[in-house]
Structure 1
Amino acid sequence: MKFKIAKPVILASASPRRKEILSLLDFPITVIPSLVSEDIDVPTDDFAAYARELASMKTSAVAKEHDNHIVIGADTIVVHEGKLYSKPNSKEQAKTFLQELSGKTHTVITGVGIFEGGILRVFSVETAVTFRELDDVLIDAYVDSGDSMDKAGGYGIQTAGALLVEKIDGDYYNVMGLPLAKLTEHLRRLALIALKDGDPYIAY
């Protein structure tokens, strides 16, 4: 499917995975990474709010300089048993993450911000991911590949990290870093994008 856009779109993220996902809508995208710090307090009872706050910060930082654009920002986190699993800062931490998630179900939460016309709207999507029982040989080989290091929770479902996953319940693209179906729904409802054939820009 091909979509038309009401205004130029900026993706406020350096993630190649998010660019790849958003490109599926087949309209031009400009990438301007947000450089805001992620150093904010992590709540112990509402991780979705934390993901939305990060998405809001990233989107707003880019939108300040491009208020005549549609700006989309996002942040993805992994949560298990009340603990936040960020991007690992070492191979040792990545191995620990995967050992702790082995054989269990964790939650991937992506917060998404949409800025347009001076208004910022934010939402979040959650997907449950269940890992297989992982042996140390597999964990070591995966971490040594380098794939763990720039991904929340220490794995990427779209790469060899798929070998770690038993099943998912929810949006696959959300686990990759951008819940495309829900984002598209919001953009269409806001009359910011429309299908090229017979789909007018009408908010509903």
Structure 2
Amino acid sequence: MSNSIPSEPPPSYEDAHRPVPGLNRAGPALSPRGPPPPRAPLPLNLPALTLLRGKRIVLASQSPRRRQLLAQIGLVNLEIVPSKFAENLPKTLSPFEYVLQTATEKAMDVYQREIDNKEKGEPALVIAADTVVISHRGRILEKPRSEADHISMLTMLRDEGTHKVCTAVAVMTPLESAKDPGYALETHVEETAVKFDATVTDDLILAYVRTRDGADKAGGYGIQTAGTILIEKIDGSYDNVVGLPLRPTLKLIEKVMMPDDEEELADDDDEFAHSDDDGI
């Protein structure tokens, strides 16, 4: 591996995910003489999304990638309320349980803090997610902690060949009825296989690490940015690797916002039957 050191050191891992003051994430502004920007598409005309228009939609994540993905289905007026959950569940859990419990705890934390918000009112929807990379040998990888950790992580992913990216999504909404527990919660875990290019060199890994592009990402790389140069192919959902499987997330939103009437009737019948059994 090359030992060459750039003239200016890359940013620290603590600073890598912080926005740069004055930087427009959408890129530089167009010249006044240039062509007008393309018109944004109209929002999806779906009943569940229509119900949410003008209401509080809380994203329990600071990830700009998740915010951008949700904007693709018309959820642009999101309120960002990061979860305070410590994300310290034991790694002895299976990767599926680990990522699912983490996303659920994130959603619950934000929901419980915002449900009695006297200034803004209760949220109509809370969306939380958690993404982990699972090595070929089953090791759960989150964000790299240092440059050495980052290099080691990417080298392992290259040498092992194929790994998995798992994202769990948890969606919550308060119920109008007093039915316990007072909210509807739906979850989903999406899995995508990613194959690194075996010919990626140590020098390329070092060069990528020093861009700090992957410093704030699970597994240490971003498929939607320069990290794509490390990847040979994927099998599954692309946006899952980015950080939020959009199609399943939309289905969860539809499920909590427009619950199946037959299920509700069945629940009501069960409660009525129990009441008869108790002699009430």
Q: Is the pair's TM-score, using the shorter chain for normalization, greater than 0.5?
A: yes
Structure 2 residue aligned with 1:48? 96
Residue 186 of structure 1: how far off its partner (Å): 1.9
Residue 66 of structure 1: how far off its partner (Å): 2.4
Tell whether the 8 Å contact from 1:188 to 1:203 is kept in structure 2 after alignment.
Answer: no
Structure 1 residue aligned with 2:15? none
Q: Which has the higher relative contact order, 1 or 2, with Cα contacts under 8 A spaced 6 or more apart?
A: 1
SS of 2:208's partner is helix
Tell whether the 8 Å contact from 1:36 to 1:58 is kept in structure 2 after alignment.
Answer: yes
Structure 1 residue aligned with 2:234? 168
**Structure 2 residue identity aligned to 1:174:** N
Match of 1:11 among 44, 47, 59: 59
Pairing of 1:96-135 with structure 2 (within 5 A): 96-102=152-158, 104-117=161-174, 118-133=183-198, 134-135=200-201
**Structure 2 residue identity aligned to 1:78:** V
Identity of aligned residues (%): 37
Residue 188 of structure 1: how far off its partner (Å): 1.9
The answer to whether residue 204 in structure 2 is matched with residue 155 in structure 1 is: no
Q: CA RMSD in A?
A: 1.6
Residues in 2 aligned to 1:124 and 1:182: alpha-carbon distance in whole angstroms: 9
Q: Deviations over 1:45-97 (max 9, x none)?
A: x2111001110111111101223321000110000111111111001111111
**Structure 2 residue identity aligned to 1:75:** D
The answer to whether residue 132 in structure 2 is matched with residue 77 in structure 1 is: yes
Residues in 2 aligned to 1:94 and 1:75: alpha-carbon distance in whole angstroms: 19
In the alignment, structure 1 segments of 5+ residues that lack a partner are 193-200
The number of residue pairs the alignment matches comes to 194
Pairing of 1:163-202 with structure 2 (within 5 A): 163-190=229-256, 192=257
TM-score if structure 2 supplies the norm length? 0.66
Structure 1 residue aligned with 2:205? 139
Residues in 2 aligned to 1:140 and 1:41: alpha-carbon distance in whole angstroms: 30
Q: Deviations over 1:120-170 (max 9, x none)?
A: 222211000011021011101100001121111110101100111111111
Query: Which structure shows the higher strand fraction?
Result: 1
Residues in 2 aligned to 1:188 and 1:26: alpha-carbon distance in whole angstroms: 14
Residues in 1 aligned to 2:95 and 2:249: alpha-carbon distance in whole angstroms: 20
Structure 1 residue aligned with 2:180? none
Residue 202 of structure 1: how far off its partner (Å): 6.6
Residue 16 of structure 1: how far off its partner (Å): 0.7
Structure 1 residue aligned with 2:17? none
**Structure 1 residue identity aligned to 2:173:** E
**Structure 2 residue identity aligned to 1:30:** E
Structure 2 residue aligned with 1:36? 85
TM-score if structure 1 supplies the norm length? 0.89
CA distance 1:170–1:42, shift in 2 (3 Å)? same
Structure 1 residue aligned with 2:114? 66
**Structure 1 residue identity aligned to 2:86:** S
Tell whether the 8 Å contact from 1:95 to 1:143 is kept in structure 2 after alignment.
Answer: yes
Structure 2 residue aligned with 1:198? none
Residues in 2 aligned to 1:37 and 1:202: alpha-carbon distance in whole angstroms: 31
Residues in 2 aligned to 1:66 and 1:116: alpha-carbon distance in whole angstroms: 11
**Structure 1 residue identity aligned to 2:81:** I
SS of 2:189's partner is strand
Structure 2 residue aligned with 1:196? none
